[in-house]
Homo-oligomer: A and B are copies of this chain.
Amino acid sequence: MSDQETTVAALRALVESFVDQREWHQFHSPKNLSMSLAVEAAELMEHFQWITGEASREIGSDSRKLEAVSDELADVMCYALALANELSIDVDTAMRVKMKKNEAKYPIR
């Protein structure tokens, strides 16, 4: 599979199944998930902490670093989708609604 074919729902189901099998819903209050998301975002950021913006664009050429960054991005996605699951938020709808607001706020010149 790949992003070309995978639906958001398929990824949500992947996360839901993982959480469900471990009986982790009891810990997955939206409050706790929001903390986890922030923690994972910080771990992702850590990879770019001491390098310049320009150097960060070249990180893809180092396969080990790219894998580490991919892993952290995956963690961010997992918690974002876990939160969407807990609150029954449709991500596609949420993104399109927010994008409309962003378009109004930042019109194309």
Residues of A within 8 A of B (CB): 1-12, 14, 18, 21-22, 27, 29-32, 34-39, 41-57, 59-60, 66, 69-71, 73-78, 80, 83-84, 86-99, 101-103, 106, 108-109
Contact = CB atoms under 8 A, between A and B. Distances in A.
Contacts of A88: 60
Q: Residue among A7, A84, A103 with the most chain B CB within 10 A?
A: A7
28 contacts: A2-B9, A2-B92, A5-B7, A5-B9, A6-B92, A7-B8, A11-B91, A11-B95, A27-B50, A29-B53, A31-B52, A34-B41, A34-B48, A37-B45, A38-B42, A38-B44, A39-B43, A41-B41, A52-B52, A53-B53, A60-B87, A73-B91, A73-B94, A74-B98, A77-B80, A77-B95, A78-B98, A80-B80
Contact of A73 (B14, B45, B83, B106): B83
